[in-house]
Amino acid sequence: MPTEAKRETIAELTEEARSSSAMIVSEYRGLKVSELGAIRRSLRQQNVTYHIVKNRLMKIAATEAGSDAVNFLLTGPTAIAFIKGDEGSSAKAVLDAFRPYRLIKVTGGVVGQQVVNAEGVTRLAQLPGRNVLLSQVAGAIAAPMSTMAGLFDAPLRDVAGLVQALADKGSAA
């Protein structure tokens, strides 16, 4: 029978898992408490929370939250970065926060219900932000339309040029 403290921890982790758009799982073995505090402070500014979790409690919380995909990554000493908001820029912030501490090993992550390995987390961090991607899509859609408009406009421009040339020729004669 779980204790009251474990029930509270499970409830907190369940809420974190429900409210997050992505989770990055890492192994924190060998870090000092002060280093973990520095990582948490830097990530808090990016709307990311970083928790050291007991695997069994996180598995229960993930099941309650409907995020069973993370269970595959829960082995060994585990810490999870819960991302709220833009996954790409937040993943970059997480990896930047981990960079000074070579002892942290990213084991993988979950984006929505999709499990990604450590390389997938790195690729996610390299993606441009959501607004940049949306503007690139809009540009890709608008470019053929503007080209087509130019092609339809070209014959009218050519006719206008011919009329102007004939008018100039007629006034010169």
Residue-level pLDDT at 173: 64
Arithmetic mean of pLDDT, 132-143: 77
Asked if the model's pLDDT at residue 50 lies above 60, the reply is yes
Tell me which residue of 58, 170, 72 sits closest to 114, measured CA to CA: 72
Residue-level pLDDT at 119: 84
Arithmetic mean of pLDDT, 154-169: 74
Residue-level pLDDT at 88: 82
C-alpha distances out from residue 147 to 106, 133, 135, Å = 45, 22, 18
- Please state, in angstroms and rounded to a whole number, the distance separating the CA atoms of residues 50 and 28: 11
- Please state, in angstroms and rounded to a whole number, the distance separating the CA atoms of residues 75 and 120: 18
* Average pLDDT of the chain, as a whole number: 82
- Report the percentage of the chain scoring pLDDT > 90: 1
Residue-level pLDDT at 96: 87
Residue-level pLDDT at 19: 86
Span 61-84, pLDDT tens digits: 888 888 777 888 888 888 899 988
Span 2-38, pLDDT tens digits: 688 888 888 898 888 888 888 899 898 888 898 888 8
Residue 110 neighbours by CB under 8 Å, 6+ apart: 22, 23, 25, 67, 69, 70, 73, 116
Arithmetic mean of pLDDT, 127-147: 75
Arithmetic mean of pLDDT, 104-131: 82
Work out whether the CA dihedral 111, 103, 119, 58 comes out positive or negative.
negative
- Please state, in angstroms and rounded to a whole number, the distance separating the CA atoms of residues 131 and 145: 21
Residue-level pLDDT at 2: 66
Confidence of residue 1 (pLDDT cuts 50, 70, 90): very low
